[in-house]
Amino acid sequence: MQKPVQKRTLKTRARLLAASVEVVARNGYEALRVEEVVQAAGVAKGTFFAHFHDKDALMEILIGERLAACFDEVEGGAAPKTVDQIIAALEPIHSVMTSERYVFDLLLRYSGATAITEIGPIAHCFERYFRVVSGWLETADVRQDISADLLAEGVQAFAIQAMSLRFCALHSATTFTDRLQVYLEAWLTPAA
């Protein structure tokens, strides 16, 4: 996968990815079947697994790309200063992350790199989330007693918590945004 020298390889991989995007567009991520993808791409099943270690690896790429596009957009704008602005700025990212329960579960599963040598697309996204938020917090209107990095880790933890509860029937009284706002105000601008 590191050195796809042959032109054929690139073309096959591109066909597989294009077919996957198409299949996902039709029925969502969860409903994607490898069989469907290889048929749409016109290759054999074995070829799929020569290009992607497993189905999850393909999903990582697809979802990772979508999130990367979100990050590009988000980083294009001005750095948010307040809690409300931060939540608003992150909204497109959180929206994609919670677009499907299946997607969110997969994100959590691959949020950390298993081995140092292979940092997957999703782990990259979480790294980027951390860096972006940390960058904002350095000049934002927030508590200064702890580092922006630590604050950013907390923002990530609370965002994940709020997204988790979004899928939970028990806590559906509060909306995702409202909950995240309560969390982040308590975390970023404590009054104690």
Partner DNA sequence: ATTTTTTATTGACCATGGTCACTTTTTGAT
Partner DNA sequence: ATCAAAAAGTGACCATGGTCAATAAAAAAT
The site for a copy of itself (CB under 8 A) is made up of 105, 108-109, 111-116, 119, 123, 127, 143-146, 150, 153-154, 156-158, 160-161, 164-165, 167-171, 182-183, 186-187, 190-192
Residue 15: partners with Cβ closer than 8 Å, 6 or more residues away? 41, 42, 43
Binder among 17, 19, 24, 51 for DNA (CB under 7 A): 51
Q: Is residue 91 a contact point for DNA (CB under 7 A)? A: no
Query: Please, what is the end-to-end C-alpha distance for the chain in angstroms?
Result: 53
Least CB distance to a copy of itself at residue 97 (A)? 14
Nearer residue to a copy of itself within complex by CB, 43 or 113: 113
* 56 contacts DNA (rule: CB under 7 A): yes
Residue 9 is a binding residue for DNA (CB under 7 A): yes
Kindly tell me which of 17 and 184 has the beta carbon lying closer to a copy of itself: 184
Query: Rounded to the nearest whole angstrom, what is the least distance from the CB of residue 157 to a copy of itself in the complex?
Result: 4
Q: C-alpha angle 72/17/106, rounded to 5°?
A: 65
14, 26, 28, 44: residue in contact with DNA (rule CB under 7 A): 44
> Could you tell me the smallest distance in angstroms from the CB atom of residue 146 to DNA?
40
- In Å, how far from its chain's centre is CA 37? 22
Q: How far is CA 54 from CA 35, 57, 61, in A?
A: 13, 5, 11
- Residue 100 C-beta: closest distance to DNA, Å: 15
Beta bridge partners of 118: 115
- Nearest distance in Å: CB 30, DNA: 9
> Cα–Cα–Cα angle for 31, 168, 110, nearest 5°?
55
Contact call for residue 102 and DNA (CB under 7 A): no
Residue closer to DNA by CB (options 51, 166) is 51
Dihedral angle sign, alpha carbons of residues 84, 89, 92, 93: negative
